[in-house]
Amino acid sequence: MDRAPPGGLPSKVMRVWRIAVALLLSIAPPAAPQSDPSDAWSDWGAVLARYASAERVQYARWKAENPAEWRRFLAWLETADPSQMSPADQRAFWINAYNARVVVGVLSRYPIDSVKDVGFLGGRVRGFFGREEHRVAGRQRSLDDIRAMVTRPPLGDPRAHFALTLATDSSPPLRPEPYRGATLDTQLDFQTRTFLNSPEGSQLDKDARRLYLTPILAWHEEDFLHDGGTVRSFVAQYVMGAAAEAAASA
């Protein structure tokens, strides 16, 4: 007969208990993938509120402080599974991932005069946006790869181009709050309308009756040609006043 050690259970009982625990662990279902990104967006939002504004991004301070929320958010991006999210949340995921990894690219090289200085031939060879140096959703990607996830089918929305920062003065600014699936449509409309009505988005030569548009529209022209539309018809939905008339009549 097994004797219980002082203050303990008999060894035979302990063996049975261990076997029972092992069986329970073996049949327990695997943990469900994290499909709710709310906590991650809270971390990203805290960082954006601290370092980004409509006027500028405080890269030097961001790099020096390297806050815990930022490190935690980047770690989450590396392993997150957006396929478990709703389509709207997936779009928000890729926009936020792109913008965050643009910041990583700048901070890792800071101080840097221009992202065009990365690579060769003004960034056209092994440039800032084409390097597969960003681990997102379980694999290495380039910024161009990440952009395509939210601007091309099946998730593609051409308005996303105006939510993606290029870390240049002439590009859409880094929005000082996260994109979220629940409010994404309103956020993208605001970004598109605001940027296309800014001097960086469009300029109207009234004398020549010509409307000059951001090169983003030419670089990604095919993304704006859905349902038989044109770049001009897309722009006409968002620009205002005389610029809208010029876009519609072109």
Q: Where are the domains of the chain?
A: 38-179, 197-250
Cβ atoms of 65 and 107 closer than 8 Å: no
pLDDT by position in tens, the chain (length 250): 444 445 554 555 445 445 443 443 343 343 333 446 889 999 999 999 999 998 899 999 999 999 999 999 999 999 999 999 999 999 999 999 999 999 999 999 999 999 999 977 666 667 999 999 999 999 999 999 999 999 999 999 999 999 999 999 999 999 999 999 999 999 999 999 999 999 999 999 988 889 999 999 999 999 999 877 899 999 999 999 888 888 877 6
- Tell me how far apart the alpha carbons of residues 184 and 186 are, in angstroms, rounded to a whole number: 5
Q: What does the pLDDT read at residue 18?
A: 57
The answer to whether the CB of 94 falls within 8 A of the CB of 155 is: yes
Which stretches of 52-183 are DSSP H helices?
59-65, 68-79, 87-107, 143-151
Kindly report the pTM of this predicted structure. 0.83
So what's the pLDDT on residue 120? Answer: 76
